[in-house]
Amino acid sequence: NGITEAGSNQPKNIGLGSSASISGLPPLKAQQSVSNVTNTVPPGTVITNVIPTNAPPGSDLAELLQKTISYGQDGLQQLLKAPKVVQLDVKVDRGSWTPPSKGVALIQSCKQISVKERNEAYKLEQENFYGSGIEMTKQIFENLRRNSGVSQKDIRTVIQRILLTLTTDKAVILNLASYENSFTDYIYNHSFNMTLLSMNIALQAGFAGEDIIRVGEAAFLSDVGMVLVPETVRMKDGKFANMERFEIQKHPILGYSILDRIPGIPDYVCLAAYQHHERSNGSGYPKKRKGRFIHPYAQIIAIADVYESLSSSRPHRVGHTPYKAMEAVIRMGRMGLLDLVHIRNFVTCMSLFPLGSLVKLNTSQIARVIDSGGKEFAKPRVTVLTDDDGVRLPNDQMFQVDLSIQKEYSITHALAPDPSHFSRMDGF
């Protein structure tokens, strides 16, 4: 597919092992302890509704489901046999999706603010928007977990604000998404970042504005089922046991079941939540669907989900560098797990060294990636942050280099984030 490692004529053998490892979940080990989750539901118990219709407002759905759904593999089978889930699978069997609208590709009217146009007040405004977006994500997810009301209008307002930023200054907001967040529960910043990345892929793919908003809505809510996974599993600091893995695999079904109860929620949002862990070669979950039987939005979100998961830390592991995460996504495409067309769109708009990455140049200087190189995957635009001894330059002496034009510069390797020496906005 033409994507190669910087400085090499051959694609790098990433060597990530099994698809389970690549997806961000560690391989199973024998005789692992299971999280202490109280659950006394007899195996084989039939459930009519995943979330009981008489669940009172304000009730904790996570606690409620521990009393109605079996733990582990038995519970996963219960969920798959629930009547509404079966009905959804019948719809999926048709493999017929509403095509994108015929509107003008929004990317044709996008612009990119330059470094000189960003003052400190503007940068602070963008940081505040990013922080408030994650806070809004937390509020919405907690409301859904507590069986409280959520308005689709509120969700769409967040998505429209994201789209405005992506069409005027995508570089700065995607840079912010590359940093670790202070929330103790990763699911909020993961979902918000996944929304930014998914919409970015749709923008690059030539979608019209309304279709990009739909992708954003679907991405924003796709992992909401994780709030119903026991916290002792979701936040476990260690390897997942077999039963715990099945608990994680419940979350697409739980997400669908939450969203299906929201009045007026579009089908594409529910389907994306249900299918964003399916894989093109049929190795995903919960139903091992292939190719055309996976909703197009879910295929986009899957790429954003894998990249964001691998590049961020979890309680049981440290995150990869953005470069390593991008390599993993590319490898998964070659293995037939993810859609290669959208991976190409993703790399085109993010670079092989993704926006916000720190890199070492052949001059021994450290630089930050501030814009993609388009189809020049390994030659993005960067801001040089240090001299050739690695000493930080004063802000007014930092300078930009377009690696696709200024051939005397090249990237030798990617660096890990270094918040002790560089702030998240340095170089932008």
* pLDDT for residue 38: 52
What pLDDT sits at residue 213? Answer: 95
The residue length of the chain stands at 428
Q: pLDDT at position 85, please?
A: 94
Q: What is the pLDDT, as a whole number, of residue 11? A: 37
Of residues 277, 176, 272, the one with CA closest to residue 216 = 272
For the stretch 10-18, contacts whose Cβ atoms lie closer than 8 Å and that sit 24 or more positions apart, written own/partner, are 11/330, 11/334, 12/327, 14/327, 14/328, 14/330, 14/331, 16/328, 16/331
Query: Tokens at residue 269, please?
Result: 């949002």
Residue numbers of the chain with a pLDDT score lower than 70: 1-46, 102, 180-184
Q: What pLDDT is attached to residue 94? A: 84
pLDDT tens per residue across span 371-398 = 998 888 999 999 999 999 999 999 999 9
Cα(164)–Cα(308) distance, integer angstroms:
22
Residue 284 contacts residue 278 (beta carbons within 8 Å): yes
Cα-Cα end-to-end distance for the chain: 31
pLDDT of residue 16: 32
What pLDDT, on a 0 to 100 scale, did the predictor assign at position 39?
59
The model's pTM: 0.88
Cα Rg, the chain, nearest whole Å:
22
Q: d(Cα 141, Cα 161) in Å, to the nearest integer?
A: 19
Q: What percent of the chain has pLDDT over 90?
A: 66
